[in-house]
Structure 1
Amino acid sequence: MFRKFLSKLGIGSANINLVLHHSRVRLGEAISGEFFIEGGTVEQHINKIDVELRLTLNQNGQTQTKTVATIPVSSAFVIQAGEKKVLPFTYELPKTLPVSRNGLHYTFVTRLDIAGGVDHLDEDVVQILPPLPLEKIFMAFEKLGFREKATSGALKPYGQEFELFPTEQFRESVQEVEFFASLEEEGVRLLLEVDVYAGAFGLQEKELKREVFFPYTETNDVNVLADKLREIIQEMIEHPYQYTASSYMAHSHGPGHGMMEAIGGFATGLFTGMLIEELIDDVVEEAFDFEEEMEEGFFDDFFDGEDEEF
């Protein structure tokens, strides 16, 4: 009786441990492992086993944790004292998640739901990598001497923004490069912004914006990607008036309409979904004063802002 009483307090009760085969996985791929369950000092009834995939976001001085998915593992069963069980685990990651970056990480939290007792929890950190075509684009930027900033990968109301700074050939003219990404059927689409220094190449506009598409046939070769990115960036800084916000909007079939299509496409594409909506409510909305900026033309920040003059 005393042992049964202690088990209800979590002392000598059943426990569970998730052992992942790999702790790093790409978006859209499956992660696998095994659950090791061990009975305690007495027989116990288990209501269920499930796993939560949790995202923790540290951004703008705030920390929020959201449950991305709840994965059912097992329904009710009885585990005897000292009994050992092993259950397989496989989960395919949705393609709508942000990828792991500084200030953004994931944890699997396994819950052994014990009837009439204290649940046993097990936590395992997992790193979510970009899909391979996007990873190749990062590698191409790296070949050109660009490095990701510590703030790269921050969540904005319209997606996950990556920020890079030049260390080599573009160091004298480019301050930073920012982009959002989306996987499409035929390739990867970037919303690219190149911020140039005052006076570089005689420019008067600081923020140059362009939509770029890389077919999957090009993402197979990092050298090809690097050459194309070099040409794209060079063309933007040599012909800046073609890549101002106003010229982008004109190319997008008029102010507002094209912009909203592009933003909407990214907001339901690779890196967002219901998750971003929840995070906006708790973190991003407060940090960016989302409702107020929407009234003032929030999406101007990327597509329709006033051109800066030096």
Structure 2
Amino acid sequence: MAFRKFLSSLGVGAPEVETTLSASAVRPGDQLHCNVQLQGGSVDIEVERVRIEIVTRFEDREETETLWGNPGVVKSLVLGEKFELKAGETKDGQVTFEVPWETPLTHILGGRPLKGARVAVRTELTVDNAVDRGDFDEIQVHALPAQDALLQAYANLGFRFDEAEVKKGTPSGGRNSQTDYWQEIEMWFPADYRRQGGQLETVFVARHDSLDLITGPHGPYPFSYSNIDVQAWTAWLDQHLRATFQR
């Protein structure tokens, strides 16, 4: 169970917020159930809004590769607006997230962490126009079976994974994307592709029944979840990459 408790920035005797998640690891398309408990402080207050969000690390918003302080929003839901929280009173609220299909991945190939990839659930409390975003409840977002199959195909061909970055906008070839961000998974070409020191950026645009693969500036190439075949996909990927990137 993921768990968070923080004091708001309203001063001594301020309210407390405690968020409990139904799971600490999900896949795109899963449901994530959240319970938010507000505990009143020493005085009655008017709460303007309680918002709960799935957030991710945006590469271009942070000063270093490890900083995690200014995330971008993947999905946001308002749990409550304009209500009174009396001194010492406890209020509970529940919300269920449909984890978006294009949520950035943090773990691949059966649980391997992706360098640079972070996703969290954040609770936001607004009182007197002051917003307290507290800490993050980090969660793991594991690859879908089709994503893992394609990533295994890369590994079978000798590609080495470097890091993942989330960027604002729409990638080249991402015409089927439903978001205003994309995740690049960066990997090193194997030596037999004769691209010494070269990197390839791969993007997935996932849906409920299929995904698009984008390789650098090329794609999208559709893959169905109903016909996952690592051996066949490895052969296709090798042929495609050699024809597209081989020097």
Aligned CA RMSD, in angstroms, stands at: 3.7
Equivalent position amino acid for 1:18 in 2: T
**SS of 1:133 mapped into structure 2:** helix
Which shifted more, 183-192 or 103-112? 183-192
CA distance, structure 1, for counterparts of residue 27 and residue 156 of structure 2: 22
Matched AA of 2:192: E
Listed one character per residue, the Cα deviations across residues 199-224 of structure 1 (whole Å, up to 9, x for unaligned) are xxxxxxxx9x67644332332xxxx3
Task: Give the counterpart of 2:90 among 79, 84, 87.
Answer: 84
The alpha carbon displacement at 1:79 in A equals 2.7
- Alpha-carbon deviation of 1:89? 2.5
Stretches (4+) displaced over 6 A? none
Give the TM-score normalised by the residue count of structure 2.
Answer: 0.66
Q: How far apart, CA to CA, are the structure 1 residues paired with 2:9 and 2:219?
A: 61
Percent identity over the alignment? 20
Give how far 1:12 is off. Answer: 0.4
Runs (5+) with no aligned partner, structure 2: 1-7, 65-69, 107-113, 172-181
Q: Alpha-carbon deviations, 1:48-91, whole Å to 9, x = none?
A: 31124333323597476433443110133333332223222211
Tell me whether 1:182 sits opposite 2:205 in the alignment: yes
Map 1:1-310 to 2 at 5 A: 9-59=10-60, 62=63, 65-100=71-106, 101-115=114-128, 120-123=132-135, 124-150=137-163, 152-153=164-165, 155=167, 157-158=170-171, 159-165=182-188, 171-173=191-193, 175=195, 177-183=200-206, 187-192=210-215, 212-219=221-228, 224-225=229-230, 227-236=231-240, 243-244=243-244
CA distance in structure 2 between the aligned counterparts of 1:54 and 1:210, rounded to whole angstroms: 27
Q: Structure 1, residues 5-26: CA drift from partner, whole Å, max 9, x if none?
A: xx99521021112122223322
Q: Is the 8 A contact 1:15 1:40 kept in 2?
A: yes
Measured in 2, the distance between the counterparts of 1:228 and 1:33 equals: 40
Contact 1:99–1:153 (CA under 8 A) maintained in structure 2: no
Alignment CA distance shift 1:55-1:44 (3 Å): same
Relative to structure 1, the CA distance from residue 171 to residue 210 in structure 2 (aligned partners, 3 Å threshold; closer, same or farther) is farther
Whichever structure has more helix as a proportion of its residues is 1
CA contact (8 A) 2:150 2:234 kept: no
Contact in 2 for aligned 1:27/1:130 (Cα 8 Å): yes
- Render the CA deviation track for 1:199-250: whole Å, top value 9, x for unaligned: xxxxxxxx9x67644332332xxxx31x22332245357xx5xx348xxxxx
Q: What amino acid maps onto 1:89 in structure 2?
A: V
Structure having the larger proportion of residues in strand: 2
- CA displacement at 1:171 relative to structure 2: 4.5
Higher mean Cα deviation, 48-57 or 97-106?
97-106
What TM-score comes out, normalization by structure 1 length?
Answer: 0.55
Q: Secondary structure at the match of 2:239?
A: helix
